[in-house]
Structure 1
Amino acid sequence: MTPLTPLLRAFRSEVLKCRRWSMFAGTGIMLAVSAFFTYLTFHQITSGATGQEVDPLAHAFPTELGLITVVGQARSFIIVVALFIVTANLAAEWSQGTWRNLLVREPRRLRLLAGKMLALLLFVLCSMTLTLVASSVLVLVVAHAQGVQTAAWTSSAGLSAWLTFFSNEVLCLVGVCLLGMLIAVLTRSTGIAVGVSLAYVLVPEGIIAMVWQSGSRWFPIRTFNFLPGSVFPTDVGPIPPQGYAAALLVALVWMTVFVVGSFVAFRQQDINA
C-alpha cells in the first residue's frame, strides 16, 4: 500500500458523501442567490440608477472589466455559503461520532483529515465555478436581449480579466475554507463551528478596520478578499493597499497557518465521541 492510499480512500469516501441532497442544496442556493444579485446589479446599472455604490459600477460597465464587476457583486455570499459547507460537514463528524468509527479502521489521522478536506475543497470550487459561469452567461444573455454592447467583455482583454478574477477567487475560497477547517477542528461542534465562522467573517474584521485600518489589511478574510478585488477598477475594489504581491504572500502564509494549526490540533485531540 502506497503512502497516499489512505488519503485517496478518505478523498473518495468524502466525494461520495458530497452527493447528498444537502450538499447540492448548498450549491443550488449559492447559484440562485448569486444569479439574483448579479441580475439585480445589471438591472440597476442599465436602468440608469445612481448613487454612491452604483456609480463606480456604471463607470466600469462598458469596459472590459464590466462583466466581472457585475458578477463579482455576489462574492460575499459565495464566501459565506462555501464557509458554511466546509465547517458544517467537518464539524458534523464530531457531532455524529463519525471520527471515532473512521479512526478505528484508519488510524492515520492527518491523511484522513487531508483527504476529507480535499474532497470538500473540490466540491466548493466546482460549485463556485458553476455559479460564476452561470452568472456570467446570464448577464451576457440578458445584455444581448436588451441590446447592450458586450464586445468589450468578450474581447481578449475581457476574457483575460475574467480568468484572472476566477483564479484569484479560487485562492480566496481555498483560504476561507481552510479557515473553516481550523474552526471546525477547534470547536468540534456543528452549531458552534458554523456560528463562529460566520460571525468572524461578518463582524470582527470590519470592526477592527474601523479602529485600526492599517493593521486590519493583514487579517485573513480581508487579505483573501484583496486577491480577486485586485482585478476590479480602483473605485470598485477592494484593491490591496499593500500591493498584490504582498497580499498574495500573506494569504499563503495564513493558509499555511490554518493547515498546520488544524493538523496539530486534530492530531492531539482525544476523539472519544
Structure 2
Amino acid sequence: MINAFRAEWVPLLRRRFLLGTLGAVFACAMLGTVLTFLSVGHTDFDGDPVTAAWLAEPGGMVQGAQAVSILLGVVALSVVAAALAGDHGHGMLRNQLVAQPHRARLLAGKLLALAVFVGLVVAVATLVSAALAFPLAPVKGVSSAAWHSWAGLAALGTGFVNLYIGSLGYAAVGALAAIVLRGPASAIAVGIAYALPVEMLVSRIYHPARAWLPMQLMQEIATGGAAFATPYADALLRGCLYAAAMIVIALVYFRRRDVTS
C-alpha cells in the first residue's frame, strides 16, 4: 500500500498535470471571491442577500471559495477520474499489478494519494480566496477585523475542512466512474453529467431530493450547512455513507474485473 501511495505521486506531480490543476483551482477561487464581493448589495444565485455585515463575520474570508464549491468538486472528480482511468488507457495497470498483486492494497494506496492531493488542491483554493478577500474588503466597505481574530482562524480551518469533505465526495464519484468505465474521457464526462445536470435537474423539480442526493449533500457540507435546509449533521452523515458506499463498490469491482490491458 505504501509503495502504491508513493508511486501514485509520480504522475500527479508531473509539471503539466500539476500546473494545469493548480491553475484551474486558482482561477476558480479568484472567480468565486471576486464575484462574491461584487455581489454586496445584491443577491446570490439562490436569491439570498449578500451584505457587507455578512462578509465581515469571521467566516467571510472563505465565502468566495465556498461559492465555487461545485467547481472545486468538479476539479477533484476530474483529477481522480483521469488518474485512475489513465492507468487503464496507458496500459500501466497491468505493470502495477505485477509489482503489487494484492488489488485492494494497490487501489487503497492510490486512493489515499489522490485524497491527499485533493486536500492540497482545496488548501490552495482556500488560501487564495482568503488572501484575495483582504484587498477586496475595503472596496465594498467590508470590515476585516473579525478575520484577524481567533474566531476568524477557526472559521478558516472549518471552511477548509468542509470544502475538503465536499470535494472528496465528488472524488468518490470520479473514482467509481473511472473503475467502471476505464476511460478518462468517459469517466469524467459521465461523472460530471451525473453530479451537475442530472442531480440539479432532479432537485429543482423535486425539492425534497436535495436532502438525499449525494452531490447535493456534498454541496451542503462544503458550504457548512448554508446551501439548503438539510441540517449539516444529517448531510455529513448521509454524504459520508454515500462516499463510503461508492468506494466499496469501486473496490469490489476492481478486485473482480479482469485486466486485459
Fold shared by both chains (TM-score > 0.5): yes
Alignment of 1:160-199 (within 5 A): 160-199=154-193
C-alpha separation between the residues in 1 aligned to 2:209 and 2:44? 26
C-alpha separation between the residues in 2 aligned to 1:256 and 1:55? 33
Is the 1:223–1:240 Cα contact (8 Å) retained in structure 2? no
Code of the aligned partner of 1:251: G
C-alpha separation between the residues in 2 aligned to 1:15 and 1:52? 38
Q: 1:206 to 1:19 in 2, by over 3 A?
A: same
Is the 2:62–2:156 Cα contact (8 Å) retained in structure 1? yes
Gaps (5+ residues) in structure 2?
none
Deviation at 1:122, TM superposition (A): 1.0
Alignment of 1:214-253 (within 5 A): 214-231=208-225, 237-241=226-230, 243-253=231-241
Report the counterpart of residue 50 of structure 2 in structure 1. 57
Code of the aligned partner of 2:236: L
Report the counterpart of residue 4 of structure 1 in structure 2. none
Report the counterpart of residue 31 of structure 2 in structure 1. 36
Residue deviations 1:217-254 (CA, integer Å, cap 9, x gap): 211101111113235xxxxx30442x222211111211
Local SS of the residue matching 2:50: helix
Residue deviations 1:141-199 (CA, integer Å, cap 9, x gap): 33357874211233333332222222111111122211211111011111110110111
Gaps (5+ residues) in structure 1?
1-6, 232-236
C-alpha separation between the residues in 2 aligned to 1:265 and 1:91? 14
C-alpha separation between the residues in 1 aligned to 2:250 and 2:142? 48
Report the counterpart of residue 86 of structure 1 in structure 2. 80
In the comparison of the two structures, how many residue pairs are matched? 258
Q: 1:16 to 1:52 in 2, by over 3 A?
A: closer
Residue deviations 1:188-211 (CA, integer Å, cap 9, x gap): 111110110111111111111133
Report the counterpart of residue 110 of structure 2 in structure 1. 116
TM-score (norm 2): 0.90
Is the 1:23–1:85 Cα contact (8 Å) retained in structure 2? no
Matched, 1:100 2:94: yes
Code of the aligned partner of 1:92: G
Is the 2:59–2:159 Cα contact (8 Å) retained in structure 1? no
C-alpha separation between the residues in 1 aligned to 2:32 and 2:58? 20
Residue deviations 1:1-33 (CA, integer Å, cap 9, x gap): xxxxxx000000111221112233111221123
Report the counterpart of residue 244 of structure 2 in structure 1. 256
C-alpha separation between the residues in 2 aligned to 1:251 and 1:176? 10
C-alpha separation between the residues in 1 aligned to 2:37 and 2:221? 23
Q: 1:221 to 1:8 in 2, by over 3 A?
A: same
Deviation at 1:41, TM superposition (A): 2.4
Is the 2:38–2:140 Cα contact (8 Å) retained in structure 1? no
Matched, 1:22 2:11: no
Deviation at 1:105, TM superposition (A): 2.2
Deviation at 1:51, TM superposition (A): 4.2
C-alpha separation between the residues in 2 aligned to 1:138 and 1:30? 14
Which of 133, 142, 153 is the aligned partner of 2:136? Answer: 142
TM-score (norm 1): 0.87
Pick the structure with greater CA Rg. 1
Code of the aligned partner of 2:132: L
Code of the aligned partner of 2:56: P
Q: 1:154 to 1:55 in 2, by over 3 A?
A: farther
